[in-house]
Amino acid sequence: MANNKLYVGNLSYEVTENDLTENFGKAGTCVSAKIIRDRYTSRSKGFGFVEMASEDEAQEAIKKLDGTELNGRKIMVNQARPEKEGAPGGNRGGGGFGRDSRY
């Protein structure tokens, strides 16, 4: 499994997916860019994920872009952690708002 997915943090709320694609294109071929948004307001949560064409290009993007400025903020670029099984979404269970399930 290739390690070509990157986490991008400390994004300005105005940064778009096109901005990410363009910026990461400086380090290689950016296959996809996704800004994570609040499900209710659609406002950016200030981070996202970028997929580069290869692991080498992903490493190059980390070297070139981590700590650089994008729309007035210094971004943080790291290797993305693998998704946990069943995430995102899925049945989160629970409910009950802290009540004992016996009631």
- What distance in Å separates the CA atoms of residue 78 and residue 10, rounded to the nearest whole number? 12
Total structural domains in the chain?
1
- Per-residue tokens: 93: 């269970």
Concatenate the DSSP letters of all residues of 56-95 into one string: HHHHHHHHHHTT-EETTEE-EEEEPPPPPTT-SSS-----
Give the pLDDT score at 85.
Answer: 65
Range of the domain at 31: 5-81
pLDDT tens-digit profile of 5-36?
999 999 999 999 999 999 999 999 999 999 99
Residue 93 covered by a domain = no
| 35 in Cβ contact with 46 (< 8 Å) | no
pLDDT tens-digit profile of 44-100?
999 999 999 999 999 999 999 999 999 999 999 999 998 776 655 544 444 444 444
Instruction: Please identify which residue in the block is written with the tokens 């400086």.
Output: 26
Domain of 29: which CATH number? 3.30.70.330
